[in-house]
Amino acid sequence: MKKLILDILLGSLLVFSFTYIVLLIAGAPVLDAFKHIWLGAFASSIKISQVLSVWVPLTLCSCGLLFTFRANLWNIGIEGQVTMGAIGAMAVLRTPVIDNPTLILCLAFLTSMLCGGAWGLFAGLLKTRGGVHEIFGGLGLNFVSQGFILWLIFGPWKRPGIASMSGTELLNRKLWLASLPGWRVATAGIVIAIAILILTWLFLEKSRLGLKLKAIGQNPKAALLYAISPERYYLQSILIAGSCAGIAGFIQTTGVYHRLIPSISSGYGYLALLLVMLSGYKIVLIPILAFFFASLNVGAIQLPIVLQLDSALSGVIQGCCVLCALFILGIRQRRAQP
């Protein structure tokens, strides 16, 4: 326990000094930058709700990734799975046939899960059937989904008159996920994220699926001897991951942007990969770290306006956190060796 706290302190110190150096190189006022990130994330209830609305997709993606990481799969395609989820949701929301908003939202939710899951399954099949490493299958599918969403926004789903990068037409207000008065975050999104967190914990820690995934992740050949087919569980885990990502896409569409934009996934899939690595694949840490990452993301938004700095600073800090954590882990493992 003492060692753990020491490690965290050491890691924070490393991250802080690295960020300090980067800011010095950029010639920026260091303390001001940190202050503005803090203010940008927590100054008002609107800012905090923005943080929460980033927290939701991050948590969802991370939950999905826990499954694939446990089977030792690198589901880089999660970015495209979010996008496909958003597209699926939008496709349902655009059908004028159904009148009942609740029903149509439920249908959109299910479709987004299906689309994200199918996109994940596709990458999984490329791996199990085609022998293509999931990183490259996933990347290819990410590029495809990016092209697809651009084509939709500039083609069939364009706004009447003008097609632009700002996205499709706004959804009917009845189809927005509701939020509490004074808060700008969809309540349903938070509820879904917490529910998925609990479900993920149950599945991974209390079910046979979690155990089998663990066996496959640690030694696929030995698992095969116990009649656990790695291929089947690869597909299952990536299907689950894709569905979680699809839900994130649904919430991005109906709860955050209320339309389809080209960057609907906002890089949250890649960020979730970092987050899960930083958590050491422990689900307890996911919500906390997701909140930390989300507040960095939101806090950095106003940096360009206030200090003329690029908002990529948040990404620098996040990436640095992961590398420092890996570094400390590596040193510890090395020390532990005889």
Partner 1 sequence: MMGDLSLPMLIASVLAASAPLIIIALGETLAEKSGVINLSLDGAVLFAAMAAFVVARETDSLLFGFFAGGCAGMLTGVIVGYFSIYLHLSQVAVGFALSLLCRDLAYFLGNPYSRVQGPTMLNSKLPFYDSLPSSLQIILTQPLTVWLALLLVAVIYYFFSFSKAGLCLRSVGENPAASFARGLNPAKIQMLAVLGGAFLVGIGGAAYSLSLKPGWGRPQGAEGIGWIGLALVIFGGWNPIRVALGAMLFAFLQVSGIGLQDLFPGIPSQVFQTAPFPLMIFTLIFMHYSTSRSRKQGYSSGRLQRIAGKLFMSRAPKGLGQSYRQE
Residues lying near partner 1 in the complex (CB under 8 A)? 22, 25-26, 74, 76, 126, 130-133, 135-137, 139-141, 143-144, 146-147, 150-151, 154-155, 163, 165, 262, 270-271, 273-274, 277, 308-310, 312-316, 318-320, 322-323, 326-327, 329-331, 333-334
Nearest-CA neighbor of 320 among 9, 12, 4? 12
Identity of the residue, 209 or 285, whose beta carbon is nearer to partner 1 in the bound complex: 285
Residue 338 in 3-state DSSP? coil
Task: For residues 275 and 293, give the distance between their C-alpha atoms in angstroms, rounded to a whole number.
Answer: 8
Cβ(15)–Cβ(317) under 8 Å?
Answer: yes
Whole-number minimum distance, CB 136 to partner 1, in Å? Answer: 5
Whole-number minimum distance, CB 131 to partner 1, in Å? Answer: 5
Whole-number minimum distance, CB 107 to partner 1, in Å? Answer: 28
Identity of the residue, 49 or 265, whose beta carbon is nearer to partner 1 in the bound complex: 265
Cβ(50)–Cβ(184) under 8 Å?
Answer: yes
Query: What own/partner pairs with CB < 8 Å and gap ≥ 24 does 97-105 have?
Result: 101/174, 101/175, 104/175, 105/175, 105/177, 105/254
Find the angle CA(244)-CA(239)-CA(280) to the nearest 5 degrees: 65
Identity of the residue, 49 or 81, whose beta carbon is nearer to partner 1 in the bound complex: 81
Whole-number minimum distance, CB 333 to partner 1, in Å? Answer: 7
Whole-number minimum distance, CB 191 to partner 1, in Å? Answer: 30
Task: For residues 313 and 297, give the distance between their C-alpha atoms in angstroms, rounded to a whole number.
Answer: 9
Other C-beta atoms lying within 10 Å of the C-beta of residue 224? 14
Identity of the residue, 44 or 333, whose beta carbon is nearer to partner 1 in the bound complex: 333
Q: In a 10 Å sphere around its CB, with 0-12 CB exposed, 13-18 middle and 19+ buried, how is residue 283 labelled?
A: middle
Radius of gyration over every alpha carbon of the chain, rounded to an integer in angstroms: 21
Whole-number minimum distance, CB 151 to partner 1, in Å? Answer: 5
Whole-number minimum distance, CB 154 to partner 1, in Å? Answer: 3
Q: At what angle do helices 45-70 and 187-201 cross, to 10 degrees?
A: 30
Identity of the residue, 20 or 154, whose beta carbon is nearer to partner 1 in the bound complex: 154
Contacts of 115 (CB under 8 A, 6+ apart): 84, 85, 87, 88, 89, 246, 249
Identity of the residue, 45 or 263, whose beta carbon is nearer to partner 1 in the bound complex: 263
Identity of the residue, 50 or 145, whose beta carbon is nearer to partner 1 in the bound complex: 145
